[in-house]
């Protein structure tokens, strides 16, 4: 059996509330401003929460042919455009590729459910003839990776997982495995989410998981802060190009980082509450490090899941303490959802993009809105202004409803 192949990240694509494209994301990160505001996609007045992180200035027609735009709902558009951005950033021309060796792995929590909700409204008013004929092709999760394949011609391994808020990270991890084990030479891995519709939004409002800081939206998402009161829902799409290392070097590709580890576990405990103590979240991190053959003491930065919910943040800190011990006091930790909100299944992909920019630019972003850290969240928080440092080893965590835990490990290319 041949040895595992090395895998590098050569392209990034991002459509987020803090910017469309890498330059816009970089600028917003440095500005340390939250994208959270009052919801304009629909009337939120029936709910306790009236705020979200919405993408502004996004016009699918700027990126796709009008015919394709009409065949894709917002979820599909975010998926396809993020992937095309990543391929362009990687300098990969699919017309010249062996398409059977290029695959797609994506993640989403709710897929096209928001679009289905909109179409149900049309059905109730105008009957079946009022419904978009593409509905059946848009609502299922696999529409993400399949539409990317149709758009790009990628004929390799293809799947979209629906593992709640860990979906994007799991997709990247599975894409990594496909290249590492020789099933593909190039994989598009990422996540997309378009959940800002009344029923989708209201479902989370019902379980009181979201912040109600309606009078101060930009300070509502407060990872690790003692005054946090829940997550802020967001939307977005992000993708990474994962490529076999020797191939990437041979074609002169820019390499953001090498992806070296992936771990995933389940709490088997509760649909919304994390397992107290975070033992399974810790095990996901330990798996990722062990499979990367990297010691915990080598990790310099952790991009935490840090959803800003009362239970998640301290449980994640407990899990990190289990993994890193006293070394945690020397590891920089930040959570970026204060910037871009929580885009559910896309969050892990968005945060992976931010990790790549951090390694490329030599700057670690802070935790926006962290004013007074919860005593139960004692870590080495990245302060305002960020840290001018190129982290050699980075861990990115994503945890989701249903007890899903996922962890990715990247290191500077060598």
Residues recognised as catalytic: 165, 305, 342
Give the span between the Cα atoms of 385 and 390, in whole angstroms. 15
Give the span between the Cα atoms of 14 and 16, in whole angstroms. 6
Give the span between the Cα atoms of 105 and 266, in whole angstroms. 20
Contact 196, 52 (CB under 8 A): yes
Give the span between the Cα atoms of 30 and 215, in whole angstroms. 25
* CA distances to 59, 60, 115, 151 from 67, in Å: 14, 11, 18, 12
The packing angle between helices 113-126 and 74-90, to 10°, is 150
Residue at token pair 């959270």:
36
Using CB atoms within 10 Å of the CB of residue 202, give its burial: 0 to 12 exposed, 13 to 18 middle, 19+ buried. Answer: middle
Biggest alpha carbon distance in the chain? 63
């Amino acid at each position: 059996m041949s040895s595992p192949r090395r895998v590098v990240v050569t392209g990034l694509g991002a459509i987020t509330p803090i910017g469309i494209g890498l330059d816009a994301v970089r600028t917003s990160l440095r500005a340390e401003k939250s994208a959270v505001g009052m919801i304009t996609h629909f009337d939120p007045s029936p709910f306790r929460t009236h705020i979200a992180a919405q993408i502004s200035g996004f016009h699918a027609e700027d990126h796709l042919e009008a015919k394709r735009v009409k065949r894709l709902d917002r979820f599909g558009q975010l998926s396809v455009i993020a992937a095309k951005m990543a391929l362009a950033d990687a300098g990969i021309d699919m017309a010249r590729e062996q398409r059977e060796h290029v695959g797609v792995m994506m993640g989403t929590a709710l897929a096209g459910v928001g679009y289905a909700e909109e179409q149900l409204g049309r059905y109730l008013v105008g009957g079946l003839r009022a419904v978009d004929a593409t509905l059946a092709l848009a609502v299922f999760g696999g529409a993400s990776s399949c539409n990317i394949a149709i758009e790009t011609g990628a004929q390799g391994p293809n799947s979209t997982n629906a593992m709640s808020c860990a979906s994007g990270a799991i997709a990247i991890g599975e894409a990594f495995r496909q290249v590492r084990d020789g099933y593909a030479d190039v994989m598009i891995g990422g996540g997309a989410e378009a959940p800002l519709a009344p029923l989708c939004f209201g479902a989370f409002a019902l379980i009181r998981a979201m912040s109600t800081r309606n009078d101060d939206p930009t300070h509502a998402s407060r990872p690790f802060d003692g005054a946090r009161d829940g997550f802020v829902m967001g939307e977005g799409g992000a993708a990474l190009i994962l490529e076999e290392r020797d191939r990437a070097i041979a074609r002169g590709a820019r390499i953001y980082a090498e992806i070296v580890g992936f771990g995933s576990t389940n709490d088997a405990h509760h649909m919304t509450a994390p397992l107290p103590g975070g033992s399974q979240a810790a095990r996901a991190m330990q798996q990722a490090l062990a499979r990367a053959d990297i010691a915990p003491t080598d990790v310099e930065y952790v991009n935490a899941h840090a959803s800003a919910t009362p239970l998640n943040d301290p449980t994640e800190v407990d899990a990190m303490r289990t993994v890193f011990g006293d070394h945690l006091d020397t590891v920089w930790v930040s959570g970026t959802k204060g910037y871009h909100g929580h885009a559910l299944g896309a969050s892990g992909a968005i945060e992976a993009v931010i990790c790549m920019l951090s390694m490329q630019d030599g700057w670690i972003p802070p935790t926006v809105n962290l004013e007074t850290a919860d005593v139960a969240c004692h870590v080495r928080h990245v302060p305002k202004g960020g840290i001018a440092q190129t982290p050699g080893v980075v861990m990115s965590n994503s945890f989701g409803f249903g007890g899903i835990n996922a962890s990715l490990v990247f290191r500077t290319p060598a």
